[in-house]
Amino acid sequence: MNEVYAGTLEELKEKHTKVVKGGRHGIAVIFHEDEVYAVDNRCPHLGFPLHMGSVCDGLLTCHWHHARFDLNSGGTLDPWADDVPVYPVKINDGEIRIILSPKTPPSVEKHKNRLKEGLEQNLSLVIAKSVTGLVQAGVPLADIAGIGVNFGVRHRWNGWRSGLTILTAMTNMLPFLDRNGQILALYQGLVHVARESEGMGTRFLAGPLPLSDQDEAPSFERMAGWYRHSVEVRDVQGAERILLTAAQSDAENSQLAGMMMSAITDHYYMNTGHTLDFHNKAFEILEKIGSENRGLILTSLLPELSGAQRSEELHSWQAPVNLTELLESAFTDLETIEFGTREAEDPDHILETILKDDPAQTVNILTEKLRGGTSPVSLARVVTAAAGERIARFHVQNEFRDWITVLHTFSHSHAVHMSLKRSLSRPLVRGIFHSAMSIYLDRFLNTPAARIPEAGLENASNPDDLLDLLDRQQQTGEAARWLAAYLKQGGDRRALFNTLGHAVLREDAEFHTFQVLEAAVAEHEEWNGFSGDFSERAKDTMLFAAVRYIAAHAPTSREIPHTAKIAMRLSKGENLFEEE
């Protein structure tokens, strides 16, 4: 048995505390109330040496942040501190020996439980430590995200919002990030879920229809009709019960997506595009973590619908050009079109038409392309490229808050594109037109239009140079010029994705910055496999959009990622309390 000699009992009675070799940081051996205890000498909170603490009434108190630990079990009275490992003690003939196997060794299950506790109590450091431990233990990254998703959809009574969207977006980014980036991505998403859920109350479901084994469930088509009507009249409870019944059937996720997206696109650009984006993200995370709790996850989207803004009711969509009248006529035409599978021809012409000041021309060209056999997915991809142009060419003379206006259009366009790939339903095709009209309404935010810069830097081969640049405020133009040089010099785009990820994850980024990062990378990758000048233009546009948006919103105080860095340093055994 692996053990270490800790001296004599008489010696310990005199000294009360001593440190012996063992574990990663030594073991504190403590004599208290005629008993000998052995605990890891490192406070599990922030690593302070516990032999420098004090003992009273069976409790060991760390003197840095006053975390308290039961000497016998190592359990803490302070949930933010974590339990300290304790070691069995043997005393024979007055000699003390410590068995170098903790009574309760670290385990994946313990890290998972601590992550749940961190989410429940909104403890950022606990979340960071748990994520670090789980990633280092080799737990599938999607499983870690799934813990946060299943918590968030239960413990926020008004449902899916930005926290779960950030977690999903960062889960999508995981393949493009290095190991530290993956830890930061999961941590950032989980922290936002915890913060958004704190004090929001548990969500209780109405339950599916009470069908017995002998009852035949309503047809999916009938349930889809019921659902669509319930959303139309803002009957969230009715929609919830229908959706739970459909989710418990053998319906595919693509069918449920078609049903739900049809109800959303019955109205225009709901909640500035967030509604459709949230729906898309919910289906994306189901693809990552599995459909075991799909009813719970999908019904979390419904509370928002009770008061969702419908843009056809807004003045801006009715005057000076009545966009609703223009679109309703086009949607009547859609009913007669058999959708084709061809890639969009003349994508440059389509994009330039969308960016012009003539919504009727835009509606006409979209309708003509669909009637001519262009795939809705292909058309949505081009429309999303146009939305990306609005961000890439956003001029800093506009009000700062208008960055979010063009971002909303871009994230909506991206959601339409991804959703059509999942479920090619006729009603969802209307979302392409909604995106195009929002791009039209954003036209003045490109007046004047920022120019895509020419490469001017002599050397921009190292993506980390971008991080140095973004340590300073108001570097939007400089960051774009750096990117132009990087691309001209043939810089590795995968390496750039990782750098862009770290540029966001090291900040206290706001919700929309996470959105632009993930959507830009995803849309960039969607153009892989296509050849020609337009695909290269589209990919570059995505990168300029992301870089300019991120640069405009950096740097921040970086409080959130600082906590994650502490957790990662602790996992490496670094001593945070020592003077640097």
Tell me which H or E stretch contains 18: strand 17-20
CA dist 57 and 521 (Å) reads 57
Shared domain check, 501 and 392? no
CA dist 194 and 203 (Å) reads 15
User: Is 267 among the domain residues?
Assistant: no
CB 480 within 8 A of CB 453: yes
pLDDT in tens, 423-448: 999 999 999 999 999 999 999 999 99
Shared domain check, 334 and 402? yes
580 has a pLDDT exceeding 50? no
pLDDT in tens, 269-320: 999 999 999 999 999 999 999 999 999 999 999 999 999 999 999 999 999 9
List b or e across 502-539, with b for residues whose CB sees 16 or more CB atoms inside 10 angstroms: bbbbbbbbebbbbbbbbbbbbbbbbbeeeeeebbebbb
Q: What is the three-class DSSP state of 374?
A: strand
pLDDT in tens, 73-106: 999 999 999 999 999 999 999 999 999 999 988 8
Residue 272: per-residue pLDDT: 96
Domain that holds residue 77: 3-99
Say which amino acid occupies 160: W
Alpha helices, DSSP H only, in 153-289? 162-173, 179-197, 220-232, 236-247, 253-265, 274-289
**What integer is the mean pLDDT of 235-263?**
96
State which of 404, 420, 446 marks the end of a domain: 446
CA dist 276 and 360 (Å) reads 24
Q: How many domains are there within the chain?
A: 3
Shared domain check, 52 and 26? yes
Strands 17-20 and 89-92, how do they pair? Answer: unpaired
CB 408 within 8 A of CB 274: yes
Nearest to 87 by CA among 74, 102, 97, 105: 102
User: Is 378 among the domain residues?
Assistant: yes
Of 16-25, 28-37, 323-332, where does mean pLDDT reach its minimum?
16-25
pTM above 0.85, yes or no: yes
Residue 211: per-residue pLDDT: 83
User: Is 399 among the domain residues?
Assistant: yes
575 has a pLDDT exceeding 90? no
In the structure, what pLDDT confidence band is assigned to residue 24 with cuts at 50, 70 and 90?
Answer: confident
For residue 278 the two structure tokens come to: 């949230």
User: Is 197 among the domain residues?
Assistant: no
Shared domain check, 343 and 439? yes
User: Is 362 among the domain residues?
Assistant: yes
Nearest to 515 by CA among 170, 180, 118: 170
State which of 81, 99, 117 marks the end of a domain: 99
Residue 1: per-residue pLDDT: 59
**What integer is the mean pLDDT of 144-159?**
97
Shared domain check, 80 and 26? yes
Nearest to 189 by CA among 128, 233, 246: 128
Shared domain check, 507 and 412? no
Alpha helices, DSSP H only, in 16-160? 108-121, 124-136, 141-152
State the burial class of residue 199 (Cβ atoms within 10 Å of its Cβ: 0-12, 13-18, 19+): exposed
Residue 236: per-residue pLDDT: 96
pLDDT in tens, 328-375: 999 999 999 999 999 999 999 999 999 999 999 999 999 999 999 999
